[in-house]
Amino acid sequence: MSTARAGEGDKKYFYDVHCHVQTLSHPCLYAYLRRFLPLFSVPVVGMLLGAAIVLIFKSKQKNIANLLSVMERNASEILWLMNDDFNKSAVEIGGRRFESVIITPLLMDFWAKVPAIRQIGYQFQPKSILPQVLDVFNGIAEFQWGTRISDGNPPRVLSPFPFMGINTKHFYLGVAKPGEKRTSLEKTLNKYFGDRSKNETLEQNRERAFFNRGTFKGDIEDLGWRQFAGIKVYPPLDFDPWPVGISEELAKVRCLYKFCEEKGIPITSHCSPGGYKVADDAEKLAHPSKWAPVLAEFPNLKLNLAHMGERLETRAYAFGGTIGIKKFPIWLWGNWTEDIIDLVEKYPNVYTDMAYAGYEVCSNSFYEALRVIIARRPKLGDRLMYGSDFSINLQDSKGYREYLDVFLKTPHLTDEQKVKMVNENPERFLWVNS
């Protein structure tokens, strides 16, 4: 494979719109574990939790070790892992060869104010996203310009183009009040996306993925236009897509959506009942129904409701029944996958991705469910995008290549459908404005 540049033909580009270049220093593990730690001091509950953890580790010890061995690395090494997996053999679908890979690593704002656990010694402090941004951009520069002589300096086929993690709660809108420590939402949007215009062509927009690639010199102030492909929001970390009744917060999300709709900037939102749940009402905030009022007001917003719900939800929607999480009352508002497809059909720029879901478990194929659903609701086929959720997906996959090969080889999807998922749909989501 060789590194192709924009303008060399549209069909060369393979996209992974949902992956992470996440080291162990990025997530806020304290905020995540805080929900469980106090439970350990309740005698019976603590014993049961301990037993459950032992069972999970027993059944998944290799996957957990594999995931940790990746997340212990620095960002450039994680990019090399993915690059090496793409170089292992050609990526081909129906005789079409993909020679350049554009990935959009999703940065996440892990800042969370959580109740303190008493008497732990040092008090908890919320975690800023800034070191994560520095880390990822330094990693991209090192991946691009560092040498790997020991490995023969293999070709770089990856072009990483991150999504910026934003939680509007951590910004202010309008004029700063005295003592305001947060950043201006409007200034931030303008700083990173101010040059975007709906008039730009697909090629001009795609060129952004190559412009400035790896030129970061370490000063966060130097980041600006063209460094981020879009915006990632993460409701389980307490981002509320439509905070009804909280006028200041509602004004902020309106500002974000108006800006993105006007400039054609894509937003990806985590949309499954799982994930890094920190907010007490994480499932409610992440549910696709939260986006219905957003889209009613901003019908042209480019939005990816990621994960398509969750693989068990998707199978429940395809084949009926009450398998998996569908049984629990919190999800009785409706099936996540079905609700996402309702929005896909209703609005022209709503997409979804298959991040994490595409691993193989005997007689429990995600792709078989996809085939059934796409036959039933064909518009989904034009809005569904390939996503790996690497490296988080290592909890159920051995590596990037294994996950990719399961997708490339599945008999349940046609070649035409696969090309839509890795090329046509993401190109439209990322670069085309309507």
Chain residues in the site for Zn ion (CB under 5 A): 389
Cis ω for the linkage preceding 89 (within 30 of 0): no
Give the residue among 218, 312, 224, 295 at the shortest CA–CA distance from 260.
295
In the three-class reduction of DSSP (H, G, I as helix; E, B as strand; rest coil), residue 336 is classed as: helix
Closer residue to Zn ion, CB minimum distance, 419 or 422:
422
Provide the total of helices (H) and of strands (E) in the chain, helices listed first: 15, 13
CA separation for the pair 30, 50 (Å, rounded) = 18
CA separation for the pair 229, 265 (Å, rounded) = 8
Closer residue to Zn ion, CB minimum distance, 240 or 389:
389
CB of 286 to Zn ion, least distance (A): 12
DSSP summary character for residue 182 = S
For residue 13, what is the enclosing H or E element? strand 13-19
Lookup: tokens for 362: 């005997």
Closer residue to Zn ion, CB minimum distance, 106 or 343:
106
Closer residue to Zn ion, CB minimum distance, 99 or 353:
353
Polymer length in residues for the chain: 434
Closer residue to Zn ion, CB minimum distance, 185 or 357:
357
Beta-strand pair 384-385/171-172: unpaired
CB of 361 to Zn ion, least distance (A): 19
Closer residue to Zn ion, CB minimum distance, 19 or 101:
19
For residue 60, what is the enclosing H or E element? helix 43-71
Report CA 324 to chain centroid distance, whole Å.
23
| Whole-number Cα distances in Å, 252 to 130, 242, 249, 292, 337 | 21, 10, 5, 17, 28
Please give the radius of gyration of the chain, using alpha carbons only, rounded to the nearest integer.
Answer: 21
Closer residue to Zn ion, CB minimum distance, 16 or 135:
16
Closer residue to Zn ion, CB minimum distance, 106 or 140:
106
In the three-class reduction of DSSP (H, G, I as helix; E, B as strand; rest coil), residue 427 is classed as: helix
Give the residue among 390, 376, 370, 384 at the shortest CA–CA distance from 419.
384
